[in-house]
Amino acid sequence: MPQKPRHPTPPPDASPPPYEYEFKKLPIDIITGDEDIRKGLEEGKDLDEMEGDWQAELQGFLAIRKQYLLY
């Protein structure tokens, strides 16, 4: 006897939530932390330019983080 699926398939006209229990933000915005990366990709922004945009913030984080490292 075939096993019944744990989660029934929603009807074709049902819209599932975008990402688990979040209904407003897009999954990519949740995974990357904000909408800037998604918007940059949608606009065709150069990836190196996008990476450069967060380097100053990253360096500040790494400096703060360093004082808490045990190894």
What are the sequence ranges of the domains in the chain? Answer: 1-71
Q: Are 14 and 4 in contact (CB under 8 A)?
A: no
User: What pLDDT is recorded for position 49?
Assistant: 92
- Tell me the two tokens of residue 62: 């790494």
pTM for the model:
0.56
The maximal CA–CA distance of the chain, rounded, in angstroms, is 60
Render each residue's pLDDT in the chain as its tens digit; 71 residues.
556 555 545 445 444 456 677 778 888 888 888 899 999 999 999 999 999 988 999 999 999 999 999 98
Distances (CA, A) of 46 to 3, 30, 36, 38: 49, 21, 13, 12
